[in-house]
Amino acid sequence: MKDVKEACKVALVQAEPVMFDKKASLAKALRLIDEAAPRRPDLIVFPELFIPGYPIGMSFGFSMSKRTEDGRRDWKRYYDASVIEGGPEFDALAERARRTGAYISLGFSERDAVSGTLYNSNVVFEPDGSHKVHRKLKPTGSERTVWGDANRGYFPISETPWGPMGGLICWESYMPLARVALYQRGVTIYLAPNTNDNPEWQATVQHIAIEGKCYVINADMIVRRSSYPSGLHEEDAISRLPETVCRGGSCVIDPYGHYVTEPVWDEETIAYADLDMSLPAACKMEHDAVGHYARPDVLELVVREG
């Protein structure tokens, strides 16, 4: 491992997106970045699909071998609210990265500039305004009716002063080989934007921190039933959701699996953490999943970059 700066300041944003509204969601993201900026964070992290929100509970009219025109209209509304890489939303976020001097990680629904496919994506802007996009390898369950499988941007890594930084979106982290692909790149900071507010997920991210000997930034969001805009065609399904649809649970976990910041539930907040970046290397004395604790003569992972 290369020598790294031994301190990294993180601002972890747990907030409610403005559902189906990319302009308002972007404005809220920029406002929250500005709110965090006086604390001079090195890294600002947002949840999965912060622009334009995660439509929990919606089916978009899909069932086995059937579609509905109302569902198509709702999907088109979400499509219109999705973001094209390199568009004006990217320009605004890149400007904030340059202004704050921070890395900014943000989940968004990506609309391909050529095809009609959407991708569940995460972008990391670097302090110079450049960016890398990761598309979710395999949308989970009925997500596949909205977003396609990644066809590029499989495992992008940001070479930061604190070591390599990468991440997986939500249940991608249940793909063991995808985790190993990041460990093989030496990640010291593992970004985990998601929409998982269950206790089992807390166990998952703690395990990843221990397994990978890395910091895990667990970024979840708040979603309320009242967040959904009027005029959607799935009013009955939305009305059956609990008032708080996603409770959050965002936290920062160290390479021992301990909470640096405890999970926060049921509220919007920015959690701040100071990371001791000497730990990822120090923790590997006993266990290094892709080094001295591996058996490359027995087990081998082949990664096809896209």
Q: Which residues are catalytic?
A: 48, 136, 170
CB-count exposure of residue 123 (10 Å: 0-12, 13-18, 19+): buried
CB-count exposure of residue 139 (10 Å: 0-12, 13-18, 19+): buried
Q: Is 191 within 8 Å of 167 (Cβ atoms)? A: yes
Q: What is the pLDDT of residue 80?
A: 97
Please report, as a single letter, which amino acid is at residue 166: G
Does residue 306 register a pLDDT over 70?
A: no
Q: What is the pLDDT of residue 287?
A: 92
Tokens of 260: 């640096």
Q: Is 108 within 8 Å of 87 (Cβ atoms)? A: no
Q: What is the pLDDT of residue 70?
A: 87
Rounded to an integer, the average pLDDT of 77-100 is 98
Does residue 63 register a pLDDT over 80?
A: no
Which DSSP helix (H) or strand (E) runs through 92?
A: helix 88-100
Tokens of 302: 């082949």
**% pLDDT > 70, the chain:** 100
Helix (H, G, I), strand (E, B) or coil at 38: helix
Average pLDDT, the chain: 96
**% pLDDT > 90, the chain:** 90
Domain 7-285: CATH architecture, name and number where available: 4-Layer Sandwich (3.60)
Does residue 87 register a pLDDT over 90?
A: yes
Buried-exposed string 73-107: b where 16+ CB fall within 10 A, e elsewhere: ebbebbeebbbebeeebbeebbebbeebebbbbbb
**Does the bond joining 242 to the residue before it have cis omega, within 30 degrees of 0?**
no
Question: Per-domain residue ranges for the chain?
Answer: 7-285
For 133-191, write each residue's pLDDT tens digit: 999 999 999 999 899 999 998 999 999 999 999 999 999 999 999 999 999 999 999 99
Rounded to an integer, the average pLDDT of 275-292 is 95
- Specify the range with the lowest mean pLDDT, choosing from 31-35, 69-73, 231-235: 69-73
Does residue 201 register a pLDDT over 70?
A: yes
Does residue 55 register a pLDDT over 70?
A: yes
Does residue 237 register a pLDDT over 70?
A: yes
Q: Is 134 within 8 Å of 121 (Cβ atoms)? A: yes
